[in-house]
Structure 1
């Protein structure tokens, strides 16, 4: 007979009690977070090395090549082939064919022949003003410097090739700045996991890493491209990008703190 008000699910030993560990926070072993931290730090060395190479090798080389080209003078009459390397040679070529492919990627090329020392294909960044009007067997003049065709001309119309040095270091600086910020992001997240393996939240990909990565990529491009178009000095890229990323990190942290406090 069942007595009203009694729990038939109770055993002979009385009411069931919760497990001894119920309600206690689950403690994670620090080995895995620390391993991830070490991996993040090691991986951050890759963009750090890329940043170093951009600012110490690529950028100086690009600037130096442009300055050498601007300082080059026309080759003197009777100059030998060795002396022609650092002077501007004017050579006549015959156009064999042209390729003007106006698509998203774009392909603008001309195949040249007729010179004893060089025959081949030159590329351009756009179809005009000369490439689109060239036809096979047309005679064009070319400026050659250090073995590369710098420009073509015909009837007073001149067009630079993709090989001609340009004073556009802004995008190179933008790439170096992005790599440096990416290295700092990986190094910071890895250091937090090493220092606080049990309490590294919210320094993970979803709350902080992804938005910071997107902001870094966007701001470097958003500042670098207009700087190229407007001729603004290249130092403007890190001068704007770094403070924007730092401010974004602080705003994300401040936004996260009230939510974390409410969760606690």
Structure 2
């Protein structure tokens, strides 16, 4: 358990020192990107500017089924051949047919949007301003690391007197609380546009509050059981 907690802690550190800053910087770069000069010929596929390229639709896949949903289009062009993934079928993907001529917006080697007849749809490769969920994942990993380290240490030092620091004692409740808080705070923060800097403290506060109530109720139940036994 201690070894696993150390791995989770490493994941937490990577989220806040690598994934989150890189994602924020990528979005800022994309937002600041300008159109490539008119008439310019690209020297390489990877460019910092936004370039539009003509693409022909080869095939589309629209599969709705919860977690197994799949929305993608296969396209072909002089500079790009392959599949584009989308988050949903609207507003453009569900109208496309094989042979349709479209325009793709390219940034740093990725098709970030597909356009046809003035209708534009983002692809899954377009940078998004959603650091809140990344911060929530980092906070969740950190909390799980703390729980694993705490429970593992108590189990190692006092295996016969673990008390509350067991799966049945409080482990299950704290684990569920941490997971629910991670997504229960992270997702609404994305939807409502809350500052990502507030996400981790909010998750920690929720887990500490619920954890305190959980531990108190467990202790009360144990005292009641001990009193009844007498």
Aligned-pair distance for 1:201? 1.0
What does 1:94-105 correspond to in 2, within 5 Å? 94-104=56-66, 105=68
**Cα displacement (A) at 1:79:** 4.1
Deviation, structure 1 residue 239: 2.2
Specify the alignment match of 2:76 in structure 1.
Answer: 113
Contact 1:47 1:183 in 2 (8 A): yes
CA contact (8 A) 1:122 1:161 kept: yes
C-alpha offsets along residues 167-192 of structure 1, whole Å, 9 cap, x if unaligned? Answer: 00111111111100000001111222
Please give the residue correspondences for 1:210-249 in structure 2 after superposition, counting only pairs within 5 Å. 210-249=172-211
Once the 2 structures are TM-superposed, how far is the Cα of residue 195 of structure 1 from its aligned partner?
4.1
C-alpha distance in 1, partners of 2:45/2:2?
A: 50
Q: Identify unmatched segments of 5+ residues in structure 2.
A: none
Of residues 202, 208, 211, the one that matches 2:170 is 208
1:55 maps to 2:12: no
Are the aligned partners of 1:93 and 1:113 in contact in 2 as well (CA < 8 Å)?
A: yes
Aligned pairs for 1:1-264 within 5 A: 40-76=1-37, 77-82=39-44, 85-104=47-66, 105-115=68-78, 117-262=79-224, 263=226
- 4+ residue runs of structure 1 moved beyond 3 angstroms? 194-198, 258-262
Q: CA deviation at 1:194?
A: 3.9
Q: TM-score, normalised by structure 1?
A: 0.80
Change (3 A) 1:154 1:192: same
Distance in 2, matches of 1:233 and 1:173, equals 10
Q: Aligned to 1:243, what secondary structure does the other structure show?
A: helix
| Offset of residue 193 of structure 1 | 2.8
Bigger share in helix: 2
Corresponding pairs, count: 224
Report the structure number with the largest CA radius of gyration: 1
For residues 156 and 28 of structure 2, the distance between their equivalents in structure 1, rounded to whole angstroms, comes to 47
TM-score (norm 2): 0.91
Contact 2:5-2:148 at 8 Å conserved across structures: yes
State whether residues 75 and 84 of structure 1, in contact with CA within 8 Å, keep that contact through their aligned partners in structure 2: no
